[in-house]
Amino acid sequence: MRLVLTGILIAVTFLGGCLFEPRVAALPGGADINYLEQSEPEFVLANLQSAFQHTDASGYERQIAEDFVYEPDSSTEANYPGLDWETWNREMEIQFITNFFNNVAGISADLTAEELHTDWSGSFAELRYVYAIEVESGGSTVPYRATATLEFIVDGTFWKLKRWTDENGENDPESGGLLPTIGQRRGAFLAAGGS
């Protein structure tokens, strides 16, 4: 046993690097995405933003807790009446994000456009932000801007997103018009049977 541990220490020493460096994911075409170690809730949020910007569903999936829940805003619920939002769990979120990322030309995302509240203690954190997402699809750009409360937990040894609650759409800083939450995309997905 001692020999094995000595061998591992020698290998780490001579090969260099750190076991806790950010994870680099390769996209088709050779582009790399630098994901941060999930050692803080804010790093998970930064990783989610990177996954949006690179439309990397597997990178997004790694940030989601096993008992993930999504809660829509009242406008999304009104636009998609009769949908069973109680069934929106990790599996549904991953199905949605994979479908979403595969059917857009590009995404510009700022999940921390405006910080409203941060509460972090022990193995639970609640972050409240205004996010801004622009989606390129069908030759046009669709903007989303909303207030969301994001809850993070320590899942095993890493922080992960446990709950995404869209509270309400926010006004476009340029036009002043009210923009929807990204929940509208989730509602359309769920209304189409989750496919």
Is residue 100 domain-resident? Answer: yes
Is residue 21 domain-resident? Answer: no
Is residue 33 domain-resident? Answer: no
Give mean pLDDT in consecutive 10-residue pieces for the chain, a chain of 195 residues: 39 40 48 92 98 98 98 97 95 98 97 96 96 96 98 96 98 97 97 87
Yes or no: say if 69 and 88 are a contact pair by the CB < 8 Å rule. yes
3 state DSSP class of 159: strand
Is residue 182 domain-resident? Answer: yes
Report in angstroms the alpha-carbon separations of 25 from 29, 57, 169.
12, 11, 32
Ramachandran area for residue 63 (φ above 0: left; ψ -120 to 50: alpha; else beta): alpha
Is residue 137 domain-resident? Answer: yes
- CA dist 73 and 88 (Å) reads 14
Is residue 31 domain-resident? Answer: no
How far is C-alpha 52 from the chain's CA centre? 7
Name the residue range of residue 151's domain: 41-191
Is residue 35 domain-resident? Answer: no
pTM recorded for the entire structure: 0.84
CATH code, domain carrying 47: 3.10.450.50
DSSP secondary-structure letter at 188?
Answer: H
Residue-level pLDDT at 81: 95
- CA dist 98 and 92 (Å) reads 10
Number of structural domains in the chain? 1
Is residue 27 domain-resident? Answer: no
